[in-house]
């Protein structure tokens, strides 16, 4: 097919018509693609629910934990050093 061939436009149009016609293989490939897409969407929704439940569990543990004691171990160590060495060590 050359640029100067007068029949080239008709041949090209016929090729485009054949390319636009859906065959059984095209429909099967589309079904496979859509089935995979739907399965991924279901897994993503289920994964999102898991993340939300985990976040709620962590938030409840943080909110319900007992408050820290007034004299933490590091504060006790600081008090011991300060008592032994004097202020401003």
Domain ranges (residues) in the chain:
10-66
- The answer to whether the beta carbons of residues 43 and 32 sit under 8 Å apart is no
pLDDT score recorded for residue 9: 86
Confidence of residue 19 (pLDDT cuts 50, 70, 90): confident
- The answer to whether the beta carbons of residues 8 and 2 sit under 8 Å apart is yes
Q: Name, in order, each residue with C-beta under 8 angstroms of 71's C-beta and a sequence gap of 6 or more.
A: 79
pTM (predicted TM-score): 0.34
How far is the C-alpha of 89 from the C-alpha of 86, rounded, in Å? 7
- C-alpha 54: how far from chain center: 16
For 26, the enclosing helix (H) or strand (E) is helix 24-64
Summarised one tens digit per residue, pLDDT across range 37-69 is 999 888 777 777 888 889 999 998 888 877 766
Average pLDDT for 17-29: 87
Summarised one tens digit per residue, pLDDT across range 24-41 is 888 899 999 999 999 988
| pLDDT > 70? residue 7 | no
């Amino acid at each position: 097919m050359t640029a100067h061939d007068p029949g080239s436009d008709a041949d090209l149009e016929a090729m485009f018509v054949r390319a636009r016609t859906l065959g059984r293989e095209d429909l099967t490939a589309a079904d496979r693609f859509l089935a995979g897409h739907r399965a991924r969407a279901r897994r993503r929704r289920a994964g999102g629910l898991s993340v939300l439940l985990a976040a709620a569990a962590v938030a409840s543990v943080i909110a319900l934990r007992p408050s820290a004691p007034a004299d933490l171990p590091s504060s006790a160590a600081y008090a011991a050093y300060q008592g032994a060495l004097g202020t401003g060590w």
